[in-house]
């Protein structure tokens, strides 16, 4: 794949989606409960593979790891972005 075909991570659509995700509570210094576990969010949302992820630390394990947000969260953010346009 050439660099021309590679989408930019900082495109307005991606930035807007990440902002919407932050407003849902997935922002730095936030606390979320996901997959039956409570996490402290230690980063703002970012593009990861085909979705959006955040870096988190769980109460059980203080190691920071990347947590992919559920597809339903990403889909709802995409739907809001389309309606807003």
Question: Is position 45 within any domain?
Answer: yes
Q: What is the pLDDT of residue 23?
A: 87
Question: Above 60 in pLDDT, residue 4?
Answer: no
Exposed (0-12), middle (13-18) or buried (19+): which is 75, by Cβ within 10 Å?
A: exposed
Q: Which residues pair with 40 in a beta bridge?
A: 31, 57
Would you say residue 6 lies in a domain?
no
Classify residue 50: in a domain, yes or no. Answer: yes
Q: Considering the domain boundaries, does residue 59 fall inside one?
A: yes
Q: What is the pLDDT of residues 23-79, one digit of tens each?
A: 888 889 889 998 899 999 999 999 988 889 999 999 888 899 999 999 888 888 877
Q: Is residue 76, in this structure, part of any structural domain at all?
A: yes
Q: Is residue 74 part of a domain?
A: yes
Total residue length of the chain: 85
| Contact present, 17 and 46 (Cβ < 8 Å) | no
Number of domains in the chain: 1
- Which structural domain, as residue segments, surrounds residue 75? 12-84
Residue 7 lies in a domain: no
pTM above 0.85?
no
């Amino acid at each position: 794949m050439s660099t021309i075909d590679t989408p930019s991570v900082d495109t307005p659509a991606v930035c807007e989606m990440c902002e919407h995700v932050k407003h849902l509570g997935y922002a730095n210094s936030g606390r979320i409960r996901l997959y039956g576990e409570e996490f402290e969010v230690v980063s703002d949302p970012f593009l990861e593979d085909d979705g959006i992820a955040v870096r988190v630390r769980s109460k059980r394990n203080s190691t920071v790891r990347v947590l992919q947000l559920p597809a339903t969260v990403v889909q709802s953010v995409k739907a809001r972005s389309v309606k807003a346009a």
